[in-house]
């Protein structure tokens, strides 16, 4: 069986060098903790505990759920529907660390853009389409970039859904008025 957490072993080998011997125990401990935290983040986890927990879950659970839109009811504007659908995005333990940071950055960026263009979300849609095509062209994306791209796609889905829901609301209102 291959050990998936060889990073800790490699780290200890690195710090057994003469340079590390001269450091204080406190400085050595801080470097080890920082390095482990960085390695966990690079693999998409918030901490070493999440990394270990995630490895256990990966072996026991075949599927994990990507962040998705929450259901929304009772909105009277496209902007409100858009904001509320992105309000309660949750992240499975497999989608943490740099992935989650990138994903949240995309959501926050486009929520801010929507705030500036409340009455015309088509401006936001155009900007979003351009950015998705630019980010898509990234070769060998990092976890942050993959999370950011998935966040952009979720924003796109929320914008399309908000447009469809408002068209449905207008249709229902007109049909009720004609009765």
- Stretch 13-27: mean pLDDT: 64
Indicate the pLDDT class of residue 41, thresholds 50, 70 and 90.
Answer: confident
Identify the pLDDT of residue 145. Answer: 92
Separation CA 165–CA 9 (nearest Å): 54
Residue predicted with more confidence, 26 or 145: 145
Identify the pLDDT of residue 93. Answer: 72
Distances (CA, A) of 167 to 75, 76, 84, 172: 12, 11, 17, 9
Spatial neighbors of 72 by CB under 8 A, at least 6 apart, are: 81, 84, 85, 165
Inform me whether the pLDDT recorded for 3 exceeds 60. no
Average of per-residue pLDDT values in the chain: 80
- Stretch 42-60: mean pLDDT: 59
Supply 179's token pair. 């009765």
Identify the pLDDT of residue 5. Answer: 60
- Stretch 15-22: mean pLDDT: 58
Identify the pLDDT of residue 22. Answer: 60
pLDDT tens figures, 66-116: 777 767 777 788 999 999 988 878 887 777 788 889 999 999 999 999 999
DSSP letter (8 states) at residue 137: T
Half-sphere exposure of 9 (CA within 13 A, CB side): 5
* pTM of the predicted protein model: 0.66
- Stretch 3-22: mean pLDDT: 62
- Stretch 6-26: mean pLDDT: 64
Identify the pLDDT of residue 52. Answer: 64
Tell me how many degrees the CA angle 76-81-85 measures, rounded to the nearest 5: 155
Per-residue three-class SS string for 73-126:
CCCCCHHHHHHHHHHCCCCCCCCCCHHHHHHHHHHHHHHHHHHHCCCCHHHHHH
Identify the pLDDT of residue 155. Answer: 95
Residue predicted with more confidence, 138 or 110: 110
Inform me whether the pLDDT recorded for 149 exceeds 90. yes
Identify the pLDDT of residue 59. Answer: 42
Checking phi first, is residue 45 left (phi over 0); if not, alpha (psi -120 to 50) or beta? beta
């Amino acid at each position: 069986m291959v050990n998936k957490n060889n990073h800790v072993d490699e780290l200890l080998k690195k710090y057994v060098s003469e340079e590390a011997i001269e450091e204080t125990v406190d400085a050595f401990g801080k470097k080890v903790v920082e390095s482990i935290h960085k390695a966990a983040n690079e693999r998409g986890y918030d901490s070493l505990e999440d990394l270990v927990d995630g490895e256990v879950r990966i072996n026991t659970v075949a599927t994990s759920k990507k962040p998705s839109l929450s259901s929304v009811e009772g909105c009277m504007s496209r902007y409100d529907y858009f904001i509320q659908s992105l309000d309660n995005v949750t992240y499975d333990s497999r989608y943490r660390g740099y992935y989650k940071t990138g994903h949240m950055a995309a959501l926050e960026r486009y929520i801010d853009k929507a705030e500036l263009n409340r009455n015309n979300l088509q401006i936001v849609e155009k900007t979003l389409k351009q950015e998705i095509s630019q980010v898509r062209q990234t070769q060998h994306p990092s976890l942050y970039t993959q999370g950011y791209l998935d966040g952009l796609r979720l924003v796109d889905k929320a914008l399309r859904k908000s447009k469809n829901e408002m068209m449905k609301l207008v249709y229902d209102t007109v049909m009720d008025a004609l009765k």
